[in-house]
Amino acid sequence: MVVIDELIERAQAASVSFNNGNLPAPPARRVAIVTCMDARIDVHAIFGLQPGDVHVIRNAGGAVTDDAVRSLAISQRLLGTEEIMVMHHTDCGMTSFSGEDFARQLQDETGIRPGWAVETFTDVEGDVRQSLARIHASPFLGRKDAVRGFVYDVGTGRVDEVRP
Amino acid sequence: MVVIDELIERAQAASVSFNNGNLPAPPARRVAIVTCMDARIDVHAIFGLQPGDVHVIRNAGGAVTDDAVRSLAISQRLLGTEEIMVMHHTDCGMTSFSGEDFARQLQDETGIRPGWAVETFTDVEGDVRQSLARIHASPFLGRKDAVRGFVYDVGTGRVDEVRP
């Protein structure tokens, strides 16, 4: 049995006692969180969140890519969020290799160079600041009063703010 | 107090009893899940997951954008995942407006047309199939034996597979 089948069985068992069926789409806490896909990050557990509370946008690195900006623009303009958290983390895979090497490996194996930046980085706090700068530079995001950056420590569970 | 400050206080309080400090970066269950940023989706709660189990990639709609492919390529090639779940959901905001209208609204307000597709859709099952097709078409993803699509029902908590 593939793992996916096991996960689906668990979801069906849990749905028997499901009681969040009347939540609206707009996030109750009006926050959007951008963070890494890293397996050690359970956003709801870290921040004590309930279903319906926040938008969660995740990708490799928690990068503020064009796709993250697309999601944030929809989050703010159509679903009413007002605050943005960007959270990177310690021991991130994106600091362990070079984007140039990865792109070259893809090209060597497939004959095709990816049309996207790999978004690796070396300095986690510096990359949080760079991510916040991308949000502030975007013409498509209207609410920028509460845009804050953080680093999650996967070794201690602490969330520390990155000062501008 | 902005909401972010409240979330950070909760995270610091929870970190006192944190006991997941020794988990490795590669996901233990070797699964990557692509889903929507929707506030009603708590991936870990739905599938009974623990920190360290799976990669979670989320954006507006759970679209398999170039950025999602970037994340999946890193997930498979550098962090060893072998299965991919794509999960859209009922009552998705991305079915409630037109991408063309949204792009025009952005252009009217900012003077700039976004360089990205908005990724709206009308048929949730059809868009799951379209998302799976993007994965199968990508030259950068090597493991495609277990690529499966689902719809999460936000009204009942059920997860139903979309047949090809």
Residues 6+ positions from B86 with CB-CB distance below 8 Å: B34, B35, B62, B64, B128, B131, B132, B135, B147, B148, B149, B150
Q: What is d(CA A150, CA A130) in angstroms, rounded to the nearest whole number?
A: 12
**DSSP 3-state assignment of A124?**
helix
Residue A58 forms contact with B (CB below 8 Å): yes
Sorted by where each begins, the domain ranges of chain B are 23-162
Residues 6+ apart with CB under 8 A from B15: A156, A157, A158, A159
Contact A68 B67 (CB under 8 A): yes
In a mutational test of the A interface, the residue from B17, B30, B42, B109 whose CB has the highest number of chain A CBs within 10 Å is B42
For residue B30, give the chain A residue with the closest CA.
A3
**DSSP label at residue A160:** E
Query: Number of helices (H) and strands (E), helices first, in chain A?
Result: 5, 5
Assessment of whether the complete model's pTM goes beyond 0.95: yes
pLDDT tens track of chain A, all 164 residues? 699 999 999 999 999 999 999 999 999 999 999 999 999 999 999 999 999 999 999 999 999 999 999 999 999 999 999 999 999 999 999 999 999 999 999 999 999 999 999 999 999 999 999 999 999 999 999 999 999 999 999 999 999 999 98
Here the ipTM equals 0.98
C-beta atoms of A158 and B102 within 8 A: no
Architecture of domain A23-162: 3-Layer(aba) Sandwich (3.40)
Burial A102-117 (b: 16+ CB within 10 A, else e): bbeebeeeeeeebebe
Residues of chain A found within 8 Å of residue B30, distances taken between Cβ atoms: 3
CA-wise closest residue to B158 among A102, A74, A112, A17: A17
Q: What is the CA radius of gyration of chain A?
A: 18
